[in-house]
Amino acid sequence: MKHLSLITAAILAATLALPAHAGGKKPAQTTTRQSETTNSIGITMVTIPSGKFIMGSCQQNDKEAILGESRCLNPDRDARSEETPQHQVSVNAFQMGKTEVTLGQFKRFIKATGNAQLISYDFIQYNSHGEESPVVMVSWYDAQAFINWLNEKEGGGYRLPSEAEWEYACRAGGNEPYCGGNNLNAVGWHDYNSDSHQHSVGGKQANAWGLYDMSGNVFEWVQDDYHNSYNGAPSNGAAWGGGENKVLRGGSFSFNAPRARAANRDSLDPATPFNFSGGFRLARTLP
């Protein structure tokens, strides 16, 4: 960064300082039996089995409700048009990050690559809740740069999940409104329980496949381009191109409960960090 004042330089130095155990705090224990691997910077990946699921949501109208009829599987009163139509997707086995990428893990990338330009005033301000909190104020392109660095370091395979993989992993074989259950307070940080900031990963209940914070805490970039419906979407779990903006999933500490639903979708220009509550979670292709 250019023309840093002594105060700003001191803040930057503190922000980049790494404790010896950065990224080393283990999330709360879970009873999941999914297999896990942990890489050299402390990112734990959970193996997600192959399978099929119904992606998206559907809103039952008043007439259907009165008649006891519905076009929907598990009608959702908060469903939005961009979450429709519901459709079946087949997903191959892959790995998913047990948690979002943390500030401590992202700082390793910044130090290793000399990418100090990422440390803006906003980055410093909004990443002030500890090494184990998910990193925020990162664009889709920033996430890709991190992934490129990690693949060089770890031998490849890391990427952002496709939108279908993200929702499949979130639902973990169930149909609850949130990633891990019906009670958002139990599984995620949102606007009513977060005190307006992100929290250390793994502090809430995991879903059935041992993944933490997929509902709430921070929004997560996925690989796909945004489309305003699922008409024409791939049915094989692949990322969907052909658009301009990129998709974010999962809601955040600063948004309400409907935005933390398993089906909720948001979008943004890939060069723009999502407000102050956008981060990312890794996927990895199995050998």
Question: CB of 227 within 8 A of CB of 266?
Answer: no
CA atoms of 218 and 265, how far apart (whole Å): 13
Question: CB of 87 within 8 A of CB of 105?
Answer: no
Q: Identify whether 85 is preceded by a cis peptide bond (ω within 30 of 0).
A: yes
CATH architecture of 34-53+92-284: Alpha-Beta Complex (3.90)
CA atoms of 181 and 66, how far apart (whole Å): 27
**3-state DSSP assignment of residue 89:** strand
Cα diameter, the chain? 69
Question: CB of 251 within 8 A of CB of 215?
Answer: yes
CA atoms of 238 and 186, how far apart (whole Å): 31
Cα 76-78-81 angle, rounded to 5 deg: 95
Domains of the chain, by residue range, sit at 34-53+92-284
pLDDT per residue as tens digits for the range 159-190 = 999 999 999 999 999 999 999 999 999 999 99
- Inform me whether the pLDDT recorded for 25 exceeds 60: no
For the chain, give the mean pLDDT: 89
- The helix-helix angle for 140-154 and 103-113 (nearest 10°) equals 70
CA atoms of 274 and 276, how far apart (whole Å): 6
- Inform me whether the pLDDT recorded for 248 exceeds 70: yes
CA atoms of 133 and 223, how far apart (whole Å): 22
CA atoms of 172 and 176, how far apart (whole Å): 10
Question: CB of 253 within 8 A of CB of 217?
Answer: yes
Query: Hey, what amino acid is at 74?
Result: N
Predicted local confidence at residue 33, as pLDDT: 52
Per-residue pLDDT band at 63 (split at 50, 70, 90): confident
Which residue is it, tokens 């006891």? 68
Question: CB of 114 within 8 A of CB of 259?
Answer: no
pLDDT per residue as tens digits for the range 108-164 = 999 999 999 999 999 999 999 999 999 999 999 999 999 999 999 999 999 999 999
